[in-house]
Amino acid sequence: MIGGTWPYRVPLYEDELLSSFLVRNAYAHGTTPYCFLNLYWPGKHIWNRDIDRTVDHDWLDALAILAGIPAAQLEASTLLPLRAILGSTLRNGDTPLLLSASVFHRTRRRHSLQFCPICLVEGRRWFRRIWRLGFVFVCPEHGNALLDACPKCGSPVVPHRSLGLDPSRCHQCGTFLGNEARETLLQTGVLEWQNLLLGALSSPPRLAGPFVQSEAFAVVRSLLSVLTPRPVHTAIREAVHLPLVALPADRLQFEHARIRERALLMETLAAWVADWPVTFRRGAHAARLTQRAFRRLTQPATLRSEVEQLPLGIARDRAYVPKVLDNQLRRLARKDRSAYRALRARRLQELVGLV
Protein backbone atom coordinates (compact mmCIF):
# COMPACT_ATOMS: atom_id res chain seq x y z
CA MET A 1 0.00 0.00 0.00
CA ILE A 2 1.25 3.49 -0.87
CA GLY A 3 1.99 5.56 2.22
CA GLY A 4 0.86 9.08 3.11
CA THR A 5 -2.62 10.48 2.65
CA TRP A 6 -4.75 11.08 -0.40
CA PRO A 7 -3.83 14.23 -2.32
CA TYR A 8 -7.47 15.31 -2.53
CA ARG A 9 -9.84 14.37 0.25
CA VAL A 10 -13.59 14.84 0.33
CA PRO A 11 -15.63 14.99 3.54
CA LEU A 12 -17.71 12.10 4.81
CA TYR A 13 -21.29 13.33 5.01
CA GLU A 14 -23.72 12.46 7.77
CA ASP A 15 -25.36 9.08 7.14
CA GLU A 16 -23.32 8.56 3.95
CA LEU A 17 -22.51 5.00 2.95
CA LEU A 18 -18.86 4.00 3.00
CA SER A 19 -19.05 2.88 -0.63
CA SER A 20 -20.42 6.28 -1.65
CA PHE A 21 -17.58 8.01 0.20
CA LEU A 22 -14.98 5.89 -1.58
CA VAL A 23 -16.57 6.54 -4.97
CA ARG A 24 -16.52 10.29 -4.46
CA ASN A 25 -12.86 10.19 -3.43
CA ALA A 26 -11.98 8.24 -6.57
CA TYR A 27 -13.82 10.66 -8.83
CA ALA A 28 -12.17 13.62 -7.04
CA HIS A 29 -8.84 12.16 -8.22
CA GLY A 30 -10.12 11.83 -11.78
CA THR A 31 -10.21 8.05 -11.98
CA THR A 32 -12.53 5.13 -11.46
CA PRO A 33 -13.06 3.49 -8.06
CA TYR A 34 -11.49 0.28 -9.38
CA CYS A 35 -8.25 1.98 -10.46
CA PHE A 36 -8.14 4.28 -7.45
CA LEU A 37 -8.35 1.60 -4.75
CA ASN A 38 -6.18 -0.82 -6.70
CA LEU A 39 -3.43 1.80 -6.59
CA TYR A 40 -3.38 1.59 -2.79
CA TRP A 41 -4.38 -2.06 -2.36
CA PRO A 42 -3.14 -3.94 -5.44
CA GLY A 43 -4.99 -7.19 -6.02
CA LYS A 44 -7.39 -6.74 -3.10
CA HIS A 45 -11.00 -7.57 -3.98
CA ILE A 46 -13.12 -4.66 -2.83
CA TRP A 47 -15.88 -4.04 -5.35
CA ASN A 48 -16.86 -7.66 -5.98
CA ARG A 49 -18.74 -7.77 -2.68
CA ASP A 50 -21.10 -5.57 -0.68
CA ILE A 51 -18.45 -3.53 1.12
CA ASP A 52 -21.08 -1.65 3.13
CA ARG A 53 -22.40 -4.84 4.68
CA THR A 54 -19.15 -6.23 6.12
CA VAL A 55 -15.73 -4.69 6.56
CA ASP A 56 -12.16 -5.89 7.13
CA HIS A 57 -11.10 -3.89 10.19
CA ASP A 58 -7.39 -3.96 9.28
CA TRP A 59 -8.28 -2.50 5.90
CA LEU A 60 -10.50 0.06 7.60
CA ASP A 61 -7.61 1.18 9.83
CA ALA A 62 -5.41 1.70 6.76
CA LEU A 63 -8.21 3.57 5.02
CA ALA A 64 -8.57 5.86 8.03
CA ILE A 65 -4.95 6.98 7.62
CA LEU A 66 -5.32 7.68 3.89
CA ALA A 67 -8.66 9.46 4.22
CA GLY A 68 -7.81 11.36 7.39
CA ILE A 69 -10.99 10.17 9.09
CA PRO A 70 -11.14 8.08 12.30
CA ALA A 71 -11.75 4.37 11.74
CA ALA A 72 -14.72 4.46 14.15
CA GLN A 73 -16.39 7.10 12.00
CA LEU A 74 -15.75 5.07 8.86
CA GLU A 75 -17.21 1.94 10.46
CA ALA A 76 -20.27 3.96 11.47
CA SER A 77 -20.80 4.70 7.76
CA THR A 78 -21.18 0.96 7.03
CA LEU A 79 -24.26 -1.14 7.65
CA LEU A 80 -22.71 -2.89 10.66
CA PRO A 81 -24.42 -0.66 13.28
CA LEU A 82 -27.78 -1.18 11.60
CA ARG A 83 -27.23 -4.93 11.36
CA ALA A 84 -26.53 -5.06 15.10
CA ILE A 85 -29.92 -3.45 15.81
CA LEU A 86 -31.99 -5.28 13.19
CA GLY A 87 -31.09 -8.65 14.63
CA SER A 88 -29.72 -12.01 13.57
CA THR A 89 -29.36 -13.02 9.95
CA LEU A 90 -32.01 -14.94 8.05
CA ARG A 91 -31.41 -18.52 6.96
CA ASN A 92 -29.88 -17.40 3.65
CA GLY A 93 -27.50 -14.96 5.35
CA ASP A 94 -29.46 -11.77 4.72
CA THR A 95 -30.06 -9.29 7.52
CA PRO A 96 -33.76 -8.75 8.34
CA LEU A 97 -35.22 -5.60 6.73
CA LEU A 98 -31.90 -4.69 5.08
CA LEU A 99 -31.99 -4.76 1.27
CA SER A 100 -29.81 -7.46 -0.24
CA ALA A 101 -27.46 -6.69 -3.15
CA SER A 102 -26.99 -10.37 -4.11
CA VAL A 103 -23.53 -9.77 -5.56
CA PHE A 104 -22.24 -12.15 -8.23
CA HIS A 105 -18.73 -11.14 -9.32
CA ARG A 106 -19.26 -7.46 -10.25
CA THR A 107 -23.01 -7.75 -10.82
CA ARG A 108 -25.68 -6.55 -8.38
CA ARG A 109 -28.59 -8.88 -9.05
CA ARG A 110 -30.98 -7.10 -6.67
CA HIS A 111 -32.13 -3.49 -6.46
CA SER A 112 -30.54 -2.92 -3.06
CA LEU A 113 -29.75 0.81 -3.25
CA GLN A 114 -32.57 3.34 -3.30
CA PHE A 115 -32.18 7.06 -3.94
CA CYS A 116 -34.08 10.34 -3.90
CA PRO A 117 -34.04 11.88 -7.40
CA ILE A 118 -34.62 15.37 -5.99
CA CYS A 119 -31.55 15.11 -3.73
CA LEU A 120 -29.46 14.30 -6.80
CA VAL A 121 -30.92 17.23 -8.77
CA GLU A 122 -30.03 19.56 -5.91
CA GLY A 123 -26.39 18.49 -6.16
CA ARG A 124 -26.21 16.13 -3.18
CA ARG A 125 -24.84 13.28 -5.25
CA TRP A 126 -24.04 10.84 -2.50
CA PHE A 127 -25.90 7.84 -1.15
CA ARG A 128 -27.24 7.39 2.36
CA ARG A 129 -27.35 4.42 4.72
CA ILE A 130 -31.08 4.65 5.34
CA TRP A 131 -31.63 4.11 1.60
CA ARG A 132 -30.56 0.49 2.17
CA LEU A 133 -33.38 -0.11 4.65
CA GLY A 134 -36.29 -2.02 3.18
CA PHE A 135 -38.89 -0.12 5.21
CA VAL A 136 -37.73 3.31 3.96
CA PHE A 137 -39.76 4.42 0.94
CA VAL A 138 -39.83 8.23 1.13
CA CYS A 139 -37.08 10.83 1.39
CA PRO A 140 -37.42 12.29 4.92
CA GLU A 141 -36.42 15.73 3.62
CA HIS A 142 -38.46 16.05 0.43
CA GLY A 143 -41.34 13.68 1.15
CA ASN A 144 -40.69 12.26 -2.31
CA ALA A 145 -40.93 8.57 -3.18
CA LEU A 146 -37.53 6.92 -3.49
CA LEU A 147 -36.53 5.03 -6.63
CA ASP A 148 -34.62 1.75 -6.69
CA ALA A 149 -33.58 1.61 -10.36
CA CYS A 150 -32.62 3.68 -13.37
CA PRO A 151 -35.84 5.32 -14.63
CA LYS A 152 -34.83 4.62 -18.24
CA CYS A 153 -33.39 1.09 -18.38
CA GLY A 154 -34.45 -0.30 -14.99
CA SER A 155 -30.94 -1.35 -13.96
CA PRO A 156 -29.96 -1.43 -10.26
CA VAL A 157 -28.02 1.57 -8.99
CA VAL A 158 -24.30 0.79 -8.83
CA PRO A 159 -22.44 4.09 -8.19
CA HIS A 160 -18.92 2.62 -8.34
CA ARG A 161 -19.56 1.58 -11.94
CA SER A 162 -21.25 4.82 -13.03
CA LEU A 163 -20.30 6.33 -16.38
CA GLY A 164 -18.50 9.64 -16.81
CA LEU A 165 -17.05 9.70 -13.27
CA ASP A 166 -20.46 10.74 -11.99
CA PRO A 167 -22.14 8.55 -9.32
CA SER A 168 -25.53 10.01 -10.18
CA ARG A 169 -25.54 8.45 -13.66
CA CYS A 170 -26.71 4.95 -14.51
CA HIS A 171 -23.82 2.54 -14.93
CA GLN A 172 -25.70 0.76 -17.71
CA CYS A 173 -27.08 3.50 -19.98
CA GLY A 174 -25.57 6.72 -18.58
CA THR A 175 -28.94 8.34 -17.78
CA PHE A 176 -28.91 10.99 -15.05
CA LEU A 177 -30.83 9.53 -12.11
CA GLY A 178 -32.03 12.86 -10.76
CA ASN A 179 -35.48 14.22 -11.44
CA GLU A 180 -37.46 17.17 -10.09
CA ALA A 181 -40.82 15.42 -10.47
CA ARG A 182 -42.40 14.75 -7.10
CA GLU A 183 -44.09 11.42 -6.52
CA THR A 184 -45.54 10.00 -3.33
CA LEU A 185 -46.48 6.46 -2.40
CA LEU A 186 -50.24 6.42 -1.98
CA GLN A 187 -50.39 3.37 0.27
CA THR A 188 -51.82 4.30 3.66
CA GLY A 189 -49.68 3.62 6.69
CA VAL A 190 -46.43 3.20 4.74
CA LEU A 191 -44.92 6.56 5.70
CA GLU A 192 -46.20 6.19 9.26
CA TRP A 193 -44.38 2.88 9.71
CA GLN A 194 -41.27 4.21 8.05
CA ASN A 195 -41.16 6.95 10.68
CA LEU A 196 -42.00 4.55 13.51
CA LEU A 197 -39.19 2.15 12.61
CA LEU A 198 -36.70 4.94 12.01
CA GLY A 199 -37.65 6.24 15.45
CA ALA A 200 -36.94 2.80 16.90
CA LEU A 201 -33.41 3.10 15.46
CA SER A 202 -32.86 6.44 17.16
CA SER A 203 -31.34 7.12 20.54
CA PRO A 204 -33.16 7.15 22.85
CA PRO A 205 -35.44 4.67 21.07
CA ARG A 206 -39.16 5.25 20.82
CA LEU A 207 -42.15 2.94 20.58
CA ALA A 208 -42.98 1.56 17.14
CA GLY A 209 -46.75 1.38 17.23
CA PRO A 210 -47.75 -1.22 19.83
CA PHE A 211 -44.22 -2.66 19.99
CA VAL A 212 -41.23 -1.62 22.06
CA GLN A 213 -37.88 -1.02 20.37
CA SER A 214 -36.39 -4.29 21.57
CA GLU A 215 -39.02 -6.34 19.71
CA ALA A 216 -40.34 -4.03 16.96
CA PHE A 217 -38.06 -5.17 14.14
CA ALA A 218 -38.44 -8.87 14.94
CA VAL A 219 -42.25 -8.61 15.08
CA VAL A 220 -42.45 -6.65 11.83
CA ARG A 221 -40.14 -9.08 10.02
CA SER A 222 -42.09 -12.13 11.23
CA LEU A 223 -45.41 -10.62 10.17
CA LEU A 224 -43.98 -9.78 6.74
CA SER A 225 -42.97 -13.42 6.33
CA VAL A 226 -46.50 -14.54 7.12
CA LEU A 227 -47.93 -11.97 4.67
CA THR A 228 -45.80 -13.04 1.71
CA PRO A 229 -47.95 -15.98 0.43
CA ARG A 230 -50.52 -14.53 -1.94
CA PRO A 231 -53.62 -16.26 -0.46
CA VAL A 232 -52.76 -15.01 3.04
CA HIS A 233 -51.99 -11.50 1.78
CA THR A 234 -55.27 -11.29 -0.13
CA ALA A 235 -57.36 -12.61 2.79
CA ILE A 236 -55.84 -10.17 5.28
CA ARG A 237 -56.24 -7.16 2.95
CA GLU A 238 -59.90 -8.05 2.53
CA ALA A 239 -60.34 -8.46 6.29
CA VAL A 240 -58.86 -5.01 7.05
CA HIS A 241 -60.79 -3.35 4.20
CA LEU A 242 -57.93 -2.61 1.83
CA PRO A 243 -58.24 -2.73 -1.98
CA LEU A 244 -57.42 -6.20 -3.30
CA VAL A 245 -54.12 -5.74 -5.12
CA ALA A 246 -52.26 -8.96 -5.87
CA LEU A 247 -48.59 -9.46 -5.21
CA PRO A 248 -46.37 -10.46 -8.16
CA ALA A 249 -46.38 -14.12 -9.08
CA ASP A 250 -42.79 -14.64 -7.96
CA ARG A 251 -42.61 -15.05 -4.20
CA LEU A 252 -39.62 -13.03 -3.01
CA GLN A 253 -38.59 -12.38 0.54
CA PHE A 254 -38.90 -8.79 1.70
CA GLU A 255 -35.15 -8.01 1.45
CA HIS A 256 -35.10 -9.08 -2.23
CA ALA A 257 -38.33 -7.40 -3.39
CA ARG A 258 -38.67 -4.21 -5.42
CA ILE A 259 -39.89 -1.03 -3.77
CA ARG A 260 -43.51 -1.25 -5.02
CA GLU A 261 -43.95 -4.77 -3.71
CA ARG A 262 -42.38 -3.87 -0.37
CA ALA A 263 -44.63 -0.82 -0.03
CA LEU A 264 -47.66 -3.02 -0.71
CA LEU A 265 -46.60 -5.46 2.00
CA MET A 266 -45.98 -2.62 4.46
CA GLU A 267 -49.41 -1.13 3.70
CA THR A 268 -51.03 -4.46 4.53
CA LEU A 269 -48.96 -4.85 7.69
CA ALA A 270 -49.81 -1.31 8.85
CA ALA A 271 -53.54 -2.02 8.54
CA TRP A 272 -53.16 -5.46 10.13
CA VAL A 273 -51.62 -4.05 13.33
CA ALA A 274 -53.43 -0.69 13.31
CA ASP A 275 -55.67 -1.62 16.24
CA TRP A 276 -53.54 -4.24 17.94
CA PRO A 277 -54.53 -6.91 18.76
CA VAL A 278 -58.09 -6.60 17.38
CA THR A 279 -57.13 -6.18 13.72
CA PHE A 280 -54.43 -8.83 14.03
CA ARG A 281 -56.97 -11.37 15.28
CA ARG A 282 -59.43 -10.42 12.55
CA GLY A 283 -56.83 -10.83 9.79
CA ALA A 284 -55.44 -14.06 11.24
CA HIS A 285 -58.95 -15.54 11.40
CA ALA A 286 -59.76 -14.48 7.84
CA ALA A 287 -56.53 -16.03 6.54
CA ARG A 288 -57.03 -19.15 8.69
CA LEU A 289 -53.62 -18.77 10.25
CA THR A 290 -52.50 -21.24 12.87
CA GLN A 291 -49.61 -21.40 15.28
CA ARG A 292 -47.73 -23.53 12.76
CA ALA A 293 -47.53 -20.54 10.38
CA PHE A 294 -45.27 -18.85 12.96
CA ARG A 295 -43.36 -21.89 14.19
CA ARG A 296 -40.05 -21.03 12.47
CA LEU A 297 -40.32 -17.27 12.98
CA THR A 298 -39.02 -15.09 15.80
CA GLN A 299 -41.80 -14.43 18.30
CA PRO A 300 -41.14 -11.66 20.84
CA ALA A 301 -43.47 -11.59 23.83
CA THR A 302 -46.09 -9.25 22.33
CA LEU A 303 -46.47 -11.40 19.23
CA ARG A 304 -46.16 -14.74 21.02
CA SER A 305 -49.07 -13.93 23.36
CA GLU A 306 -51.33 -13.48 20.32
CA VAL A 307 -49.98 -16.43 18.34
CA GLU A 308 -50.73 -18.71 21.28
CA GLN A 309 -54.41 -17.80 20.91
CA LEU A 310 -54.48 -19.19 17.34
CA PRO A 311 -55.43 -22.79 16.54
CA LEU A 312 -52.55 -25.23 16.76
CA GLY A 313 -52.80 -26.36 13.15
CA ILE A 314 -52.32 -29.82 11.69
CA ALA A 315 -48.98 -31.43 12.48
CA ARG A 316 -47.49 -33.61 9.81
CA ASP A 317 -46.45 -37.10 10.82
CA ARG A 318 -42.75 -37.25 9.99
CA ALA A 319 -41.95 -40.27 12.16
CA TYR A 320 -38.77 -42.10 11.20
CA VAL A 321 -39.43 -45.34 9.33
CA PRO A 322 -36.41 -47.69 9.41
CA LYS A 323 -35.25 -48.99 6.06
CA VAL A 324 -35.24 -52.75 5.54
CA LEU A 325 -32.82 -52.77 2.63
CA ASP A 326 -29.25 -53.81 3.51
CA ASN A 327 -26.33 -55.58 1.85
CA GLN A 328 -27.89 -59.03 2.37
CA LEU A 329 -31.12 -57.99 0.63
CA ARG A 330 -29.19 -56.32 -2.18
CA ARG A 331 -27.27 -59.57 -2.84
CA LEU A 332 -30.47 -61.62 -2.82
CA ALA A 333 -32.10 -59.13 -5.20
CA ARG A 334 -29.36 -59.90 -7.72
CA LYS A 335 -29.13 -63.66 -7.21
CA ASP A 336 -32.47 -65.00 -5.94
CA ARG A 337 -35.54 -62.83 -6.37
CA SER A 338 -37.80 -65.33 -4.60
CA ALA A 339 -35.59 -65.43 -1.49
CA TYR A 340 -35.27 -61.63 -1.64
CA ARG A 341 -39.06 -61.15 -1.56
CA ALA A 342 -39.50 -63.65 1.25
CA LEU A 343 -36.86 -62.04 3.47
CA ARG A 344 -38.09 -58.53 2.74
CA ALA A 345 -41.68 -59.51 3.58
CA ARG A 346 -40.56 -61.08 6.89
CA ARG A 347 -38.67 -57.94 7.89
CA LEU A 348 -41.61 -55.69 7.06
CA GLN A 349 -43.87 -57.89 9.20
CA GLU A 350 -41.40 -57.63 12.07
CA LEU A 351 -41.45 -53.82 11.79
CA VAL A 352 -45.22 -53.64 12.15
CA GLY A 353 -45.36 -56.32 14.84
CA LEU A 354 -47.03 -59.11 12.87
CA VAL A 355 -44.40 -61.69 13.73
What are the tens digits of pLDDT across the range 282-331?
999 999 999 999 999 999 999 999 999 999 988 765 665 556 677 888 88
Average pLDDT over residues 193-219: 86
d(CA 355, CA 162): 75
Average pLDDT over residues 147-167: 92
The predicted structure's pLDDT at residue 333: 83
The predicted structure's pLDDT at residue 185: 62
Nearest to 229 by CA among 243, 250, 245: 250
Average pLDDT over residues 113-131: 95
Of the candidate ranges 36-40, 88-92, 109-113, the one whose mean pLDDT is the lowest = 88-92
Note the pTM of the prediction, 2 decimals.
Answer: 0.85
Average pLDDT over residues 60-75: 95
Phi, psi of 180 (to 5 degrees): -85, -10
The predicted structure's pLDDT at residue 265: 95
Burial of residue 335 (number of CB atoms within 10 Å: 0-12, 13-18, 19+): exposed
Contacts of 197 (CB under 8 A, 6+ apart): 97, 133, 135, 208, 216, 217, 220
More reliable by pLDDT, 322 or 146: 146
The predicted structure's pLDDT at residue 134: 97
Share of the chain above pLDDT 90, in %: 67
Phi, psi of 169 (to 5 degrees): -110, 145
The predicted structure's pLDDT at residue 318: 61
Of the candidate ranges 13-27, 61-75, 253-267, 325-339, the one whose mean pLDDT is the lowest = 325-339
* pLDDT above 90 (res 264): yes
The predicted structure's pLDDT at residue 30: 93
Most confident of 13-22, 160-169, 315-324: 13-22
Mean predicted lDDT score pLDDT of the chain: 89
* pLDDT above 90 (res 67): yes
pLDDT digits 0-9 by tens, 200-210: 988 776 778 88
More reliable by pLDDT, 207 or 185: 207
Of the candidate ranges 8-12, 134-138, 197-201, 210-214, the one whose mean pLDDT is the lowest = 210-214
Average pLDDT over residues 181-207: 81
Tell me the β-bridge partners of 133.
Answer: 98
- Interhelix angle 18-28/33-40, rounded to 10 degrees, is 90
Of the candidate ranges 172-181, 193-202, 308-317, the one whose mean pLDDT is the lowest = 308-317
More reliable by pLDDT, 321 or 128: 128
Of the candidate ranges 46-55, 200-209, 210-219, the one whose mean pLDDT is the lowest = 200-209
The predicted structure's pLDDT at residue 340: 87
The predicted structure's pLDDT at residue 271: 96
The predicted structure's pLDDT at residue 328: 85
More reliable by pLDDT, 71 or 331: 71
CA distances (Å), 202 to each of 116, 129, 216, 278, 315, in order? Answer: 21, 14, 13, 28, 41
